[in-house]
Amino acid sequence: MNKKIVSAVLCLILVVGCLTAVAACDKDGKEKLSIVYLGDSIGEAVAGPSPLEERDNYGYPGVIGQVNDYYYHNRAISGNQTKQMLAFINREDTNAAISASLIRTADVIHVSILGNDLLQADFGTMLYDREVKGESKTFNAAIKGAEENIAKIIVRLREMNPKAHIMFQNVYNPVYAESKLMETSVKEKLASVGIQPSDYRRLGNELLSRLDSIVPAYLAEHPDKKIHIIDAYAEFGRIFDEDPERGKRLIFVDGVHPSDEGHAVLANLIQNKLVALGLAGEKDGVKNYKTLRCEQIDRLYAETDLDRDALKAAVQKASTFAEVSEAYFDGVRNYTAKCNSVNLPRNYAEDTCIFDYDREFYFDKITLDNVGFPDLVGKNLMDLGVFGPDCKFSFYDDGTFRTTVTIADKFIPIINALLGTLKFEELMAGKVMGDLDVEDIVREYCKNMFPGATVDDFSAALEVVKRSIGVEIIGADNLNGTEIWNSITKEGKLPENAVLQPGFGFEINSTYCVKKVKGADGKEWTAVYIGRFDPDTEPFLIFTVHEDGEISTVDVSMEILGLVLYGTEK
């Protein structure tokens, strides 16, 4: 549970960002196809892309959407198991994200799910039990629950959209000898019975092959010619067997998610299926993919000594989707990409706008629907008094946006007291939360999500994060990030002068645009998209504005945390 909490907090800090009509035509007059992505963090593509701001250019949902000129809508949610996905698709439209409507009207529905049904049930212990004891009751229960949920998911998706092609992407094996996926305690238990690190991948294959049999087994009994398997398990396995070093590079530093190159492999599999189904053009897809990668070369590596012209020539010489990926990633492997500014020039469409006056919506309600915090579910977290009175969403008439979150002054002494009791030395070394090595996680995530940033110069790293995704700590002028980090990691304690002051909190600065969107039932919503605008998709954050006479309110859902934030205009 602690691991999930840390992941959720990281995602909250990294929240940053455009929705289109349900059907429209492209510039050639042909009706554009729509693809919706559902499922878990692999589909959400937040953990993995490096730099993080390149999520839509590295994550397979964005790559497939762009190279085929689709409308693409990412509704995958990090941490989702099959039961959470089932609950999600059973909901009707409740806000301007109009997720149910997008599912109902999609030409293609792509699903990445099942992995968390095992990972969140203690994957390493299941490996041990099956190998040593012959079976794992935990594994058997997880499989049984997943089978039941998958059946319900397929039935529900077909009820919502009888005509769409549905692609189920199975689960690849991320385990290898040096894998971070298993805790040290499990590795020690395996070693005690003679199981070596070289056996880990085989053990992972045994579990995952059973997991990946769930959808095919259902389809064998309930045939559906428009449901397809994207065989990530086979392709990642093939690459690992042929070139173990490349196989390892397909996995992100956390040992679970696909890296940039891993996402490219998944994109290739999806593209091949779309071409085979006649839903994408092979030549156009390769041509557009080359353009996407060449633009990245110029955007991300202009300040390095990479021979960009030579690499772009190699990319252009490639004849297939996979060859483009190999040329690109072989070329950039030893170079550090640049994190660009979140505040790039805005490109609004004719049917979008910005507010013609400054608008501020102050937090008045925060609800939580997260099984990890049962005592808080159904309550208004604002009533706890933790948050300051100046927490607000600000939309300015120049198209900029700011979220301000501060801690209530009365809670600052309490937080300082709690910080003083933390055993930082044990925490950072992974002795408090299982094998969760906090120092290693922060260091690796920082280096990969924000290339060029290093925790050894923590203050400079915060500046990179601010430039990249607009997140900035406020009310901390008295704190030195580098000094704090060095003291925690080297001495196991906070510096004596590291005391939070009134007004402490954080801001998210970005841009926004406003658009009217219509659900499949004809209901109209006012959406506010946060981040760079692309008329073919939408960003991570989508606000819904409600105008009710003299009272105007907004709300925004953060599905990964189970949070909904509400604000009223003042």
- pLDDT tens for residues 221-249? 999 999 999 999 999 999 999 999 999 99
Identify the band that residue 433 occupies on the pLDDT scale cut at 50, 70 and 90: very low
More confidently predicted of 558 and 455: 558
Q: What angle do CA 54, 57, 58 make, to 5 degrees?
A: 80
* Residue 33 contacts residue 100 (beta carbons within 8 Å): no
- At residue 427, the pLDDT reads 65
What pLDDT sits at residue 160?
99
Mean per-residue pLDDT of the chain: 89
pLDDT of residue 320 exceeding 90: yes
- How much is the pLDDT for 348? 61
Q: What is the DSSP string of 154-184?
A: HHHHHHH-SSSEEEEE-------TT-SSS-H
Which two three-digit tokens encode residue 374?
């049962």
Higher-confidence residue of 34 and 446: namely 34
Number of neighbouring beta carbons within 10 Å of residue 286: 20
Give the pLDDT score at 24.
Answer: 41
pLDDT attached to residue 219: 99
pLDDT the model gives residue 22:
34
Q: Which of 245-259, 412-426, 501-515 has the lowest mean pLDDT?
A: 412-426
Range with lowest mean pLDDT among 31-40, 82-91, 312-321, 475-484: 475-484
pLDDT at residue 329 in the model: 98
State the pTM of this model. Answer: 0.91
Q: Which of 291-305, 350-364, 422-436 has the lowest mean pLDDT?
A: 422-436
Half-sphere exposure of 263 (CA within 13 A, CB side): 25
pLDDT band at 6 (very low <50, low <70, confident <90, very high): very low
The full 3-state SS of 1-25, as one line of letters, equals: CHHHHHHHHHHHHCCCCCCCCCCCE
Bond preceding residue 451 cis, omega within 30 of 0: no
| Highest mean pLDDT of the ranges 5-9, 144-148, 456-460 | 144-148
Distance separating alpha carbons of residues 489 and 428, to the nearest angstrom: 7
Confidence tier at 437 by pLDDT (50, 70, 90): low
Does residue 184 or residue 255 have the better pLDDT? Answer: 255
How wide is the angle at C-alpha 175 spanned by C-alphas 171 and 177, nearest 5°? 165
d(CA 435, CA 95): 39
Which pLDDT does position 342 carry in this prediction?
53
Residue 355 burial by Cβ neighbours in a 10 Å radius (0-12, 13-18, 19+): middle
Q: What pLDDT was estimated at residue 28?
A: 52
How high is the pLDDT of residue 548?
Answer: 87
Whether the pLDDT of residue 345 is over 70: the answer is no
Average pLDDT of 379-392? Answer: 94
Of 160-169, 336-345, 458-467, 507-516, highest mean pLDDT? 160-169
- For the segment 12-65, what is each residue's pLDDT rounded down to a tens digit? 434 433 333 333 445 455 689 999 999 999 999 998 888 888 999 999 999 999
In this predicted model, what pLDDT tens digit does every residue of 485-533 receive, in sequence order? 888 888 888 888 889 999 999 999 999 999 999 999 999 999 999 988 8
Check pLDDT > 70 for residue 9: no
How far is Cα 48 from Cα 25, in angstroms, rounded to an integer? Answer: 33
Confidence at residue 1, expressed as pLDDT on a 0 to 100 scale: 36
Residue 107 has pLDDT above 90, yes or no: yes
CATH code at 17-332: 3.40.50.1110
146: which 2 tokens? Answer: 């997943």
Consecutive H or E run containing 72: strand 71-74
Does position 393 have pLDDT exceeding 80, yes or no?
yes
Exposure class string for 150-169: b at 16+ Cβ within 10 A, else e: bbbbbeebbebbeebbbbbb
pLDDT at 7 (0 to 100): 45
Least confident of 170-174, 186-190, 250-254, 540-544: 186-190
pLDDT tens for each residue of 351-361: 889 999 999 99
129, 186, 188, 190, 537 from 193: Cα distances, Å? 12, 11, 9, 6, 51
pLDDT at residue 77 is higher than 90: yes
Q: What is the pLDDT of residue 12?
A: 42
Q: What is the pLDDT of residue 271?
A: 99
- Residues 143-147, mean pLDDT to the nearest whole number: 98
